[in-house]
Amino acid sequence: MLYRSLALCALASVVVVAACGDDNNNVTGTTNSTATVRFVNATGNTNISVANNGTVATGNSALGFGSSSSCMTVNTSSPSLTFTNSGTSAAISGFTPNFANNGNYTIIAYTDASGNTQFATLDNTFTATTGQAGVRVFNGASGSGNIVLNGTNGVLNGGASTAFGNSGAFFSTPSGSSTFSFNTGTGTTSLASTGNVTLTAGQNSTVVLGPAATGSTARRAFVVTGC
C-alpha cells in the first residue's frame, strides 16, 4: 500500500509539472507572447481613439495633440490595435504592427506633408546611466528640417539632428527639472519649446516636435514617457 501511495504522488507531481508547462502556450497567462504599448497623438488637429481588442479603455478616447493612452498589453502574434478619428468615427488606416515578445513600445501618430496620418513605432529599450533619465527625439513636424534638441543649459546629445518622420537615439541626461526646445542648429531660431518638465531617473521619455494648430504657424512640442 505504501508503494502504491508513493507512485500516485509521483504521478500527481508529473501532472502538475505538465500543467505548468502548458501555461506557456496560454497567451493570456504569460508575458512571453505580449508587448507593452503606449500610443501618443502628434497629429495636427485630429482627436484619436485607440481600441485594444475592440475595447477603448477609459482615458484612451478622443486623445488630442500631445495626449497619450494608458499602457496597453497587446498580443505580439496577432495584435489588435485600431484607431479612429474621434470626430467622425472613421477608421484611420496605415498602422502596421511589429512587436517583439516582451517588448516595450511608443506608437506615435503624426501628419505627413499631404495631411495624412502616419504611424511610427518606437522601441523603448534603453538603460540610462545610473541616476539619470533616458531621452530621445521624434520629429513629427513636416517642413521643420533636421531638428536639434536643446536643454536648459544648451544643446543636447552632441547636437545630433533628426529628420521629419524619424526618431533619434536615446541618450542619458540628468533627471529632475528641465526645459526642452528645438531648432535646426546653433544660431537658428527656436521652433518650439516643451516648457518645464520633470524627468525621473531610470525612466525613458520621447521629446516630440509636432505641427502647428489650425490658424497658427507656431509648432508645438511635448514629452511622453514610456511604459
Q: How far is Cα 134 from Cα 174, in angstroms, rounded to an integer?
A: 9
Region of 69 on the Ramachandran plot (φ > 0 left; ψ -120 to 50 alpha; else beta): beta
Q: How far is Cα 72 from Cα 35, in angstroms, rounded to an integer?
A: 8
Return the pLDDT at 5.
Answer: 46
Task: Indicate the fold that domain 31-125 takes in CATH.
Answer: Immunoglobulin-like (2.60.40)
CATH homologous superfamily for the domain 126-227: Carboxypeptidase-like, regulatory domain (2.60.40.1120)
Grid coordinates belonging to 200: 525621473
Return the pLDDT at 8.
Answer: 40
CATH 2.60.40.1120 residue ranges of the chain are 126-227
Grid coordinates belonging to 154: 544648451
The tens place of each residue's pLDDT in the chain, 227 residues long, gives 444 444 444 444 434 333 443 333 333 444 479 999 999 999 999 999 999 999 999 999 999 999 999 999 999 988 899 999 999 999 999 999 999 999 999 999 999 999 999 999 999 999 999 999 999 999 999 999 999 999 998 999 999 999 999 999 999 999 999 999 999 999 999 999 999 999 999 999 999 999 999 999 999 999 999 99
CATH 2.60.40.2890 residue ranges of the chain are 31-125
Residue 139 near residue 164, CB atoms below 8 Å: yes
What is the CB-side half-sphere exposure of residue 214 using CA atoms within 13 A?
Answer: 3
Picking from 59, 36, 46, 43, the residue whose alpha carbon sits closest to that of residue 208 is 43
Return the pLDDT at 32.
Answer: 75
Q: What is the pTM of this model?
A: 0.85
Picking from 120, 122, 109, the residue whose alpha carbon sits closest to that of residue 67 is 109
Decide: helix, strand or coil at residue 27. Answer: helix
